[in-house]
């Protein structure tokens, strides 16, 4: 498999779903539930932008993350109209979920298969499988937070009606 096929596979099968899950998590954390469709669109825009930022040869590893964070804050602010402080907190929490999910995934895969991180990262299919486990975890966390917020809103409305 050449690098182009690997990049396209990774983009469509891991990066786009991961960024959609991240955007939905940001929406849920900011409690801006009415804009979930816009969050999906922002997630796709962000992943395409991040893909092109990573392709620039002079942008080193940490810098693309900073550029991504700034772009994400601007897009979430413009599209979702959520306060910047809420966006930053939600993004930091979202990134922590991604980092923790990836670490947990690698520990589990290494424990069960005996593969090294280099072996996992050099094989497209193992890399995609490891990516999907933390994406599913992020969707699950988003869903449970969403359910909790809905339950809180129902409780608030029942108190108001009484």
What is d(CA 58, CA 52) in angstroms, rounded to the nearest whole number? 12
What is d(CA 64, CA 62) in angstroms, rounded to the nearest whole number? 6
CA angle in degrees (0–180, nearest 5) for 25-31-37: 60
Structural domain of 22:
3-161
Q: Which residues of 42-55 are buried (b: 16+ CB within 10 A; e: fewer)?
A: bbebbbebbeeeee
Q: pTM of the prediction?
A: 0.85
Q: How far apart are the first and last CA of the chain?
A: 64
If DSSP codes are grouped into helix, strand and coil, which group holds residue 128?
helix
- Domain tally, the chain: 1
pLDDT per residue of the chain (162 residues) written in tens, 0 to 9: 444 445 777 778 888 999 999 999 999 999 888 888 999 999 999 999 988 888 888 878 788 888 888 999 999 999 988 899 999 999 999 989 988 988 998 899 899 999 888 888 888 788 888 888 889 999 999 999 999 988 887 776 666 665
Structure token pair of residue 102:
């990836």
pLDDT tens string 125-154:
888 888 888 899 999 999 999 999 888 877
Q: Which of 72, 74, 77, 84 is nearest to 19 (CA)?
A: 72
Eight-class DSSP state of 34? G
Q: Which of 153, 32, 14 is nearest to 24 (CA)?
A: 32
Query: In angstroms, what CA-CA distances link 51 with 39, 47, 72?
Result: 18, 6, 13
Exposed, middle or buried, 56 (CB in 10 Å: 0-12/13-18/19+)? exposed
């Amino acid at each position: 498999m050449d690098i182009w096929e690997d990049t396209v596979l990774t983009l469509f099968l891991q990066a786009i779903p991961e960024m959609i899950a991240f955007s939905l998590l940001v929406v849920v954390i900011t409690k801006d539930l009415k804009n979930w469709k816009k969050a999906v669109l922002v997630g796709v825009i962000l992943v395409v932008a991040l893909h092109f930022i990573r392709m620039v040869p002079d942008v080193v590893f940490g810098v693309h993350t900073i550029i991504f964070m700034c772009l994400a804050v601007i897009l979430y602010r413009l599209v979702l109209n959520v306060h910047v402080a809420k966006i930053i907190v939600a993004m930091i929490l979202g990134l922590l979920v991604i980092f923790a999910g990836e670490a947990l995934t690698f520990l589990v895969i290494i424990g069960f298969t005996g593969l090294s991180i280099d072996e996992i990262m050099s094989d497209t299919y193992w890399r995609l499988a490891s990516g999907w486990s933390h994406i599913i975890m992020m969707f699950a966390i988003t869903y449970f937070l969403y359910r909790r917020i809905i339950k809180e809103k129902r409780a608030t409305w029942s108190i108001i009606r009484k």
